[in-house]
Amino acid sequence: MALKGLDIFKLSPKKNCKECGSPTCMAFSMKVAQGAVDISACPYFSEEAKATLSEATAPPMKTIKVGTGENEISLGGETVMQRHEKTFVSKTRYAVTVCNCMDEAAIDAKLADMTKVDYERIGERMFVEMVYVNYTADGAYDYTELVKKAAATGRVLILGCEDPEVAKAALAVCKDGKPILNGATAANYEAMNQVAVEAGVTLGVKGADINELYDTVVALEGKGNKNLVIDCGTSSIKDAMAVAVQFRRAAIKDGNRSCGYPSIVNVAALAKGDMHMQAALASLFTMNYGSIVVMEEMTYAEALPLYGLRQNVFTDPQKPMKVTPGIYSINGGDENSICLTTVDFALTYFVVSGELERSGVPCNLIISDAGGLSVLTSWAAGKFSANSIAKFWAEADIEGQIKNRTLVLPGKVAVLKGEVEAKLPGWNVIVGPAEAVQLVKFLKDLKDQGQC
């Protein structure tokens, strides 16, 4: 239910609150209702009132935390259906699956390949955050040993196991890492609930269809367990999408908190070995409510576009993505290589750096702080100017790090040439092309002329 300030005020102690300065606590109650402050900030509310209000004012989707320390992951917590309504809270996480039906060599190879996808893009680490450890009774490899191997990677584990005894043995060696036990069904939820609660881990819930899934969630809530995630199923892509969308809609639009849990989508099982289909489904469920997307494998070819998509979806649309200002060496550029400069808007950086790499010419791309705006926008706002360039040159000690004294300006701000020359005496300032795609020919021509 959505509480108004008056609802909260009715539960308030009505003392002279030092937190809000209001003798009636109405101001504080209004702030709580708007989500500006947490109810725990008031020392006068009783614990019972705090518990009641905390649950009532919580997001329609429960925030579930798994993993520990620097590997802790937050799932859920969403308040809207679409990104344009409000920034999404918890980004989709990716997992690679291993199974006790595989031989040891295949397991070791897959876990090793998984760790190779690990790089940074615009200040965010891009890597496979989780391992889905699947159990089958027909598997020849010891499941507990497989769990130990997966835990050694340092990733958060998801135990895909519906056998309570096997799950209990596996949790005995990994529960300190706060994994997800994904195996509660209509047939075994009581036993699996006991195993998960005793180990203090999140329980994943499955169902033959959406109705059975919902009924099992409600039954688990009746036993006091709300530390849950929803498995969208593997019967068909259509059914998995229906669960992901309808559970999210029921939680956010209809206020049904029994549907308000993060989701697991096993696209590896849905794609049935088709890697192209897996890539398409991973993209689909990244945009459509997959809190965790499980994949057969993750290669750089899949990771680059997928993580780029995730970064676009799960960033604040009102805050432009920026790269860190500094000197970026391209094609082995060193202190004697030609310099180019542009703004810190991420899209501009990736377009320009890509064309510079295509040219094959060693160079230094110098990025200054322009507020995350594009070239013309930052120039019009006064954030990309001769003064800002000169200031960054001094702050970053560009002349102390680079001996080359040729600087290429973006063609769209050719008007800055004279001012930059005045601010950076001794530098040969050249106006570059207006479009990034023209940089390849431009640099090759400069190289032929002996200027770089």
Query: Tell me, what's the pLDDT at 144?
Result: 95
pLDDT tens string 6-32 = 454 455 555 545 544 444 466 666 666
Q: What is the pLDDT of residues 101-131, one digit of tens each?
A: 999 999 999 999 999 999 888 778 899 999 9
Confidence class of residue 45 from pLDDT cuts 50, 70 and 90?
Answer: low
> Is 391's pLDDT higher than 80?
yes
378-389 pLDDT, tens per residue?
Answer: 999 999 999 999
Q: CA 415 → CA 15, 107, 230, 277, 419, distances in Å? A: 64, 59, 57, 49, 8
Interval 276-303: pLDDT, tens:
999 999 999 999 999 999 999 998 888 9
* Average of per-residue pLDDT across 163-178: 95
What's the pLDDT tens digit per position in 407-450? 999 999 999 999 999 999 999 999 999 999 999 999 998 888 87
Asked if 66 and 264 touch (Cβ cutoff 8 Å), the reply is no
Looking at every residue in the chain, the average pLDDT score rounds to 88
Give residue-wise pLDDT tens across range 146-162.
999 999 999 999 999 99
pLDDT at 148: 96
Assign 35 a pLDDT band (cuts: 50, 70, 90): low
Strands 118-121 vs 124-127: parallel, antiparallel or unpaired: antiparallel
Q: In this prediction, what percent of the chain has a pLDDT beyond 90?
A: 70
Q: Are 208 and 183 in contact (CB under 8 A)?
A: no
Question: How open is the CA angle 45-50-55, to the nearest 5 degrees?
Answer: 155
Residue 86: the pLDDT is 81
pLDDT of residue 49: 63
| CA gap 108, 449 in Å, rounded | 53
Q: What is the pLDDT of residues 203-226, one digit of tens each?
A: 999 999 999 999 999 999 999 999
